[in-house]
Structure 1
Amino acid sequence: MINYINCSIVRFEDVYNAFQMGFSDYFLKMEMPIETFQAKFFGPEGNQLDKSYIAYDDVNPVGLILGGIRNYENIRTLRCGTLCVHPDYRDQGIAKELYKYHKQIALENNCKQMFLEVMVVNNKAINFYKKLGYEIIYNLNYYRYHQGNSIDFKLDSSIKVQEITFEDVKALSVYLADIHINWQNSLDYIELLDNLTYYGVYDGTKLVGALCISLQGNIYIVWTKPSYRHKHIAASMIATATRKLNLSELSISLTNNASLINFLLKHNFKKQELAQYEMYLPL
């Protein structure tokens, strides 16, 4: 008999083991130490133990659904951080049962929507979520820039780029409110990350350009005020960051945003094969 228990009252090692076994045959390598798993999935990713459920066969963890609630784009949202089942226990209704508990959490916490990401090549999972009522809303793509041993973004000497703080970037939320930003690039997400650097461009006292980038070259936010676009501000911020951080490659993830995609392609970013769908279920 399979039992379903809230993750807040079980050993964390069982949560970790359920994840490891559930993804043991996944086409992407998901192996990681328990410390990394805890820091990543219960840190910036926003999963919460009391919003997550685990399935047991006797004392053995055989399935897991992680969940976390945030006001995502001003909508109270329950995100599914992962759903996995041990290979030997699939096609027995465990995933569907875990989802029932997941949805109940959303309803009990007055969420207005449920949300998840899924690999575009994972047709089985996509069809499973569609049967539950989820719909594909956004494409989430990944781009990478690599130019030998150095990055040749050109710095416009007339543009003064300076380091700013997360609070400066956070103040831009009023401008970002109507722009869809994927979960991993949201302000709530990056606020919990370490080793990020922020750059900005001012016109007088007004911040008209901002860049959030990691020490490894992952870009989380690159933004220019609409009336200041096509004036080399974004390129100059990236040029400054690559020189100061001594970067040899850059990466960025984003959903359907023609303006930003055109900017990336113009500057020789290459679209990667890895891609996801963002799926939503309104409540």
Structure 2
Amino acid sequence: MIRYERGTDLEMSTIYQAFQRGFADYIIQFNLTETEFADRFFGPEGNAREHSFVALDGDDAVGVVLGGNKVYESVQTMRCGALAVSPEYRGKGVSAGLMDLHREEALQAGCKQLFLEVIAGNDRAIAFYLKRGYRRVYDVSFYTLPDASRLEAPTGASAGAGVARIEFESFAEMVGPWKYFHINWQNDLEYQERSPSNAYYGVRVDGEWAGGLSISANGKINLLIVSNRHRGKGIATRLLAAAREELGFVKFTASTPNNALLEGLLERRGFVRDKISLHEMYLRL
């Protein structure tokens, strides 16, 4: 008989076991040690053990739902950071049981919406979420520039715009007034603040901030933004080139949800869209 336990009542090894079994045949393989799993999924990803649940059959961990609670786009939100069920237990109501607990946890925490990401093409999972009332709102695309040396710093007027390494606090202060577009969960400022390996850059023109870049230690572009007044002047490219020169990146990666402006920039600079994409799905409570 299946029983469900809250994450705080279990060892991390049990949560990890459920995660490993549930994602054993997933489209994307998670080759993580238990420590790497804990550091990532209960670190920057924002999940909390008190908002997570594990399904057990006897002593075997056969399913897990990870939950993270924060204000996201001005709305108190419970995110499903992962839903995984061991293959032999699928179709037996375990996923439904976990998601019922996830929804109830969100209501108890005062959340106004549920949120999750699902890989495009995972039709069984998408149908499951649609049946539970979720709706698809954004699509997240992924890009790669495999040879960062192809990115050429611009010349002309923009070449005089000085790029400076800055602290997170300065970056967040810069970006705040410009956040008029959707930023996906893994790229928002709170996620970045919880990622200590990130580097931040800014450009000032005539004494005011003109653009900024947040980038991870492996070349993942978290946020690349230029003010309306200074677009089309090569500032975004200069920011990337400066980060490449200082940190020695050999490639860049990026993700963006329905941002035609950024997608156009990436494609003009030689980035290639990956085959895998995500749907962001929401359920109002």
Same fold, TM exceeding 0.5? yes
> After alignment, is 150-159 or 194-203 more displaced?
150-159
Cα deviation, residue 142, structure 1:
0.2
Partners of 1:17 and 1:111 in 2: how far apart? 28
Question: Which residue in 1 is equivalent to 2:83?
Answer: 83
State how 1:258-269 maps to structure 2 within 5 Å: 258-269=260-271
- TM-score, scaled to structure 2: 0.96
**How many residues in Structure 1 have an aligned counterpart in Structure 2?**
282
Partners of 2:151 and 2:21 in 1: how far apart? 43
Partners of 2:40 and 2:106 in 1: how far apart? 22
Cα deviation, residue 201, structure 1:
0.6
Question: Which residue in 1 is equivalent to 2:174?
Answer: 172
One-letter code of the match for 2:275?
E
SS in 2 for 1:13: helix
Q: Any conservation in 2 of the 1:143–1:269 contact (CA below 8 Å)?
A: yes
Unaligned runs of 5+ in 1: none
Q: Any conservation in 2 of the 1:151–1:249 contact (CA below 8 Å)?
A: no
Cα deviation, residue 55, structure 1:
0.6
Q: Deviations over 1:214-252 (max 9, x none)?
A: 222111011111111001111111111111111111000
- The RMSD of aligned alpha carbons is 1.2
From 162, 180, 183, the equivalent of 1:181 is 183
Q: Percent identity over the alignment?
A: 37
Q: Any conservation in 1 of the 2:178–2:227 contact (CA below 8 Å)?
A: no
Partners of 1:197 and 1:6 in 2: how far apart? 36
SS in 2 for 1:238: helix
SS in 2 for 1:121: coil
Q: Any conservation in 2 of the 1:155–1:240 contact (CA below 8 Å)?
A: no
SS in 2 for 1:30: coil
Partners of 1:243 and 1:278 in 2: how far apart? 34
- Given the alignment of the two structures, is residue 218 of structure 1 paired with residue 220 of structure 2, yes or no? yes
Cα deviation, residue 158, structure 1:
1.7
Cα deviation, residue 103, structure 1:
0.2
Partners of 1:4 and 1:81 in 2: how far apart? 18
Cα deviation, residue 135, structure 1:
0.5
Question: Which residue in 2 is equivalent to 1:106?
Answer: 106
Question: Which residue in 1 is equivalent to 2:13?
Answer: 13
Cα deviation, residue 58, structure 1:
1.3
Partners of 1:173 and 1:163 in 2: how far apart? 15
Question: Which residue in 2 is equivalent to 1:152?
Answer: 151
- Given the alignment of the two structures, is residue 68 of structure 1 paired with residue 68 of structure 2, yes or no? yes
- Given the alignment of the two structures, is residue 22 of structure 1 paired with residue 2 of structure 2, yes or no? no
Cα deviation, residue 264, structure 1:
0.8
Q: Deviations over 1:126-157 (max 9, x none)?
A: 0000000000100001001123x723322442
Cα deviation, residue 27, structure 1:
2.4
Cα deviation, residue 173, structure 1:
4.4
- Given the alignment of the two structures, is residue 243 of structure 1 paired with residue 242 of structure 2, yes or no? no
Partners of 2:216 and 2:63 in 1: how far apart? 33
Cα deviation, residue 174, structure 1:
3.0
One-letter code of the match for 1:279?
M
Cα deviation, residue 172, structure 1:
3.0
One-letter code of the match for 1:151?
R
State how 1:129-140 maps to structure 2 within 5 Å: 129-140=129-140
- TM-score, scaled to structure 1: 0.96
Q: Any conservation in 2 of the 1:151–1:247 contact (CA below 8 Å)?
A: no
Unaligned runs of 5+ in 2: none
